[in-house]
Structure formats: structure tokens, C-alpha cells
């Protein structure tokens, strides 16, 4: 569900919020680009690497966040929180302005509603409702170069390529099964 940028603390554990403040204070957050629809940040991790954070907006509300770190804990990760905080600071917010009640020490107080899930659910519903869309027919109607180009682009944009990989493994297993039938 969309939320106001200033209210990102509703989705952040106290410890994560404190780490995000530290990251911003240590100048570990770099805003790569930022317009009314989206923002991208690089956040340094403590091993000298970088995590990539993507944030999307609609009518000034945050509607999507993604970080490529492995955090799977409660609420958003410290990199996403740091990216959101850095954006807030562009608007003049200061890290000393957080209220004490914005630090959620109890996980149950953290809003866990995942905006990504909502967007994905809406998209899956749309795919199901669109009776003219047939994934395999669509894929097989594309030429090979275009299809590989699309996959290559998708890999660059997102590491979440599981669906394509799964489809390919399935395709391979089907092909092996067919070959075996043919040989026997």
C-alpha cells in the first residue's frame, strides 16, 4: 500500500532506523537519480560493496521499494530506510527530528504490509483477466534476438529472474523427456 515518504518509520524496526541514520550521517547513501516517479540510490555496505535501492512514487506517495541485499527480516532493510531518509533530507528534514515513538522496538509495531505484494497481486489478477494474453504463444511469436535482448535487459534491471530461469529449466526437462521418448 502507498505510504507518505515521511512515514517510512512505520515500516522500520528501531535498530534498522538507527542504522539508516548512521548510514546517512556517514554519507554512505548516494542518490543516483530522482524525479517525481522514481528514485535510485547506491548504499555502501560494510564490506566495501554497494546495494542498489529503487523507490517508486505515485502522487508523491511511495508505492514500491526494492533493495538487492539479502535482508528478509521484519519491515524494510536499512538500505531502503537510508535511501528514503536521504530523500527526506533533500526536502530539508534532519535526522535529529525523529520522535522517540518512531523507534519501534517491538516487531509487532512495524507495519509489514508489503507494497510489492499488492502490486504483484494486481498484476497477476490483470494477467488472469486478460483472456487475449497467452504467455507461451507470445514468447514463441518473438524472434530469438528480441527474446534474448529482453531477457538480457531484464537481468540488468533486476536480479529477480527466477521466473525466466524456472521456465527455461522446465523447458529443458520437457525437451529431455521428449528426446527419451523418441529414442526408446
* CB 69, min distance to Zn ion, A: 3
* CB 45, min distance to Zn ion, A: 8
Contact window for Zn ion (CB under 5 A) among 32-40, 68-76, 111-119, 150-158 = 68-76
Nearest to Zn ion of 142, 158 (CB atom): 158
Which among 116, 119, 115 is positioned nearest to 2, based on CA atoms? 115
Number of residues that bind Zn ion (CB under 5 A): 6
Q: Is there binding between residue 29 and Zn ion (CB under 5 A)?
A: no
The answer to whether 50 and 62 are in contact (CB under 8 A) is no
* Residues 69-108 contacting Zn ion, CB under 5 A: 69, 71, 77, 79
Nearest to Zn ion of 54, 126 (CB atom): 54
Q: Is there binding between residue 67 and Zn ion (CB under 5 A)?
A: yes
Contact window for Zn ion (CB under 5 A) among 34-42, 60-68, 141-149, 169-177 = 60-68
Nearest to Zn ion of 116, 122 (CB atom): 116
Q: Is there binding between residue 55 and Zn ion (CB under 5 A)?
A: no
Q: Which residues bind Zn ion (CB under 5 A)?
A: 51, 67, 69, 71, 77, 79
Amino acid at each position: 500500500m502507498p505510504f507518505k515518504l515521511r512515514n517510512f518509520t512505520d515500516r522500520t524496526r528501531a535498530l534498522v532506523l538507527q542504522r539508516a541514520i548512521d548510514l546517512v550521517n556517514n554519507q554512505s547513501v548516494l542518490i543516483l537519480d530522482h524525479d517525481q516517479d522514481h528514485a535510485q540510490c547506491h548504499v555502501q555496505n560494510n564490506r566495501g560493496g554497494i546495494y542498489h535501492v529503487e523507490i517508486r512514487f505515485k502522487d508523491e506517495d511511495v508505492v514500491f521499494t526494492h533493495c538487492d541485499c539479502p535482508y528478509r527480516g521484519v519491515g524494510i532493510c536499512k538500505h531502503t530506510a537510508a535511501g528514503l531518509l536521504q530523500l527526506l533530507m533533500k526536502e530539508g528534514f534532519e535526522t535529529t527530528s525523529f520522535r522517540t515513538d518512531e523507534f519501534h522496538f517491538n516487531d509487532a509495531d512495524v507495519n509489514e504490509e508489503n507494497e510489492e505484494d499488492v502490486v504483484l497481486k494486481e498484476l497477476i489478477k490483470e494477467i488472469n483477466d486478460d483472456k487475449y494474453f497467452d504467455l507461451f504463444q507470445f514468447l514463441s511469436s518473438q524472434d530469438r534476438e528480441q527474446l534474448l535482448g529482453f531477457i538480457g535487459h531484464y537481468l540488468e534491471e533486476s536480479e529477480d529472474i527466477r521466473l525466466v530461469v524456472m521456465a527455461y529449466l522446465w523447458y529443458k526437462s520437457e525437451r529431455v523427456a521428449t528426446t527419451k521418448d523418441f529414442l526408446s
